[in-house]
Amino acid sequence: MTLKMRVEAKFFNMQLAFQGKASLLFAAVVLALGAAATAAVCGGVCGFLRGALGSFLAGLAGIAVLGLVLFVGTACHMRVLLSKSKNNLGPGSTGSANSLPSLAADMQNGGLSMIISQLPELFVQRERALLGPRFDAMFSYPGQGAVRGASVNALRCTPQQFAALADFPLEASPFCASAFVVPQPDWKPGRHPYHHAGAFYAQEPSASAPAALLDVHPGMRVADLCAAPGGKTSQLAAALAGHGVLLANEFVAARAEVLRQNLERMGVTNAIVTNEDTARLAAAYPGQFDRILVDAPCSGEGMFRKESVAVTQYDQPLLDRCAALGAEILENAAAMLAPGGILVYSTCTFAPGEDEGQIAAFLARHPEFTLCDLSGCGFGQPGEANRAGNDPLQAEYCRRIWPCDGGEGHFMAKLQKAADAPAVELPRGKNGKGKGGKTPRVDAKALQAWQSFAKELFPTLAGQPIAVVGDGFLLEPPALLPAAKLHVLRAGVPAGRAAKGRFEPAHALFMAYGAQCTNCEELTLADPSTAAWLRGEEIEAQTAQNGWCAVLVDGFPLGGGKASGGRIKNHYPKALRNLK
């Protein structure tokens, strides 16, 4: 089993969208042809039959033909839709054939019986058998629609400071001390200036729980093996506070790029972002991490209300693939964990084979691991022994978040590796610096350009180690660098590049260290210039002097610009702007 399985969902989602559009187009074509046929028949009959009787008979003929065409067109359209849903994004599927828009509407209306009736039958039958009379209560959603939340980035501010500044309603989250519930249905977090500035990460509140259980401290070596899109990873980075090393890995290339962008937005300085199979990471870094998070790719049963695709792609083969994939990632994580280290495994599903059964089987294979007790975490409910399969498990030590607990659905288990477990040495590359192991030669003029820039605008960075990658500079390369030929998207903070004897700073530099810049344009949330800046417009310089400057909103960085003549030229990346 390989991690390539994770690409299947994306492919099948595209297939679903294509089939839906094709079926609608087919129906439209049939109706158009029907109208044309009706007109032709009516014309022919009218030409043949003249007089009142002819007109009457022609009308009847037209109505009959149109009715027949509508019936055939509708039947064909429904056949395509039902076939699409029955096939359920893959061969051999037995998923639900219910309409997803109706499911979403029923869930928002809070109709529990209708919600359950439209969930996959396979899922409902299993959960009713496992939960018995508790089923309806456990899947009783306390509100209408999926709950939305914001996890505060401690690299930017404290939760208390964020709450005092935010212009949208916040309620304390029961799942994480640094997270809030946002009770505003029309909230658009992606366009908010604080989101652009990396002050918070928008995610379903209970999704913030697993990272908080890992007990990360500054200076540790931490790995997040299934990191995209980056919400939990940013929590781990905040706990490290810029000290130690964070390996953030994602197997799917497109998602790995999203992960890189999010960590840049959040101002993370000590991350290595990789796009790798966890088996290759395990071979490169055996026994090297103090903490590892495995938020495993899963069948997504906890996302039925939030993500419609979780319903459409659901079937037994998917459950089997996800359980096998989770087991594979767990094995690799176990190999990467140092003696005495802690591993947190989590999913957003209720499936026994991916949850309690997965942990029970893992512990049966790994006697050097013990299951930690999560009963004192303050949220959710205990794991359930009838889901553990044939292997023994203290299931009550695990933790589940049910819909009735205020989340969408999560499972968590915390595992610790024995302190006397055999240690494994890191394979030695050439100087541990990757391919070739050679340190690139630094161009003296380019280096001088960077040092002059840093001394003027970022004096705290002027003496820090700098690496050269092509014509660019990289700040703070983490101490733990790939010793094998791994696909690394980022390691450290891109500082900028030298061009014609001048230094041009990177957007990442301002996002990581903008608050430390000596030349700043200081905006507020209510300032019209803030919205204008995020649209990519030039703004008036109120506090910034001529030259490169950091643009801040309430002290949070929004990238950099170049001031001249009382105006600031916008260098905020076009792909990130609020264009509408």
Which DSSP letter does residue 483 get?
S
Nearest to 179 by CA among 224, 147, 139: 147
Q: Phi and psi for 447 in degrees, rounded to 5?
A: -65, -40
CA torsion, points 502, 504, 510, 515, in degrees to nearest 10? Answer: 20
> Catalytic: 549?
no
Using CA of residue 473, residue 479, residue 484, residue 487, what is the dihedral sign?
Answer: negative
- The residue among 261, 416, 397 whose CA lies nearest residue 337 is 416
Other residues' Cβ atoms within 10 Å of the Cβ of residue 330: 26
The residues, any chain, with a CB within 8 Å of residue 184's CB and separated by 6 or more, are 148, 168, 169
State the DSSP string of 374-442.
-TTSSSSEE--GGGSTTS---GGGSEEE-GGGTSS-EEEEEEEE-TTSPP-PPPP-STTSSGGGPPPPP
Residues 437 and 431: beta-carbon distance below 8 Å? yes
Q: How far apart are CA 490 and CA 230, in angstroms?
A: 14
CB contact at 8 A, 543 and 300: no
Catalytic residue among 42, 157, 176, 348: 348
8 Å CB contact between 241 and 155: yes
Q: How far, CA to CA in Å, does 317 sit from each of 99, 125, 251?
A: 21, 16, 21
Name 313's Cβ contacts closer than 8 Å, sequence gap at least 6: 9, 12, 13, 88, 89, 90, 95, 300
CA gap 201, 306 in Å, rounded: 17
Q: Which residues are catalytic?
A: 348
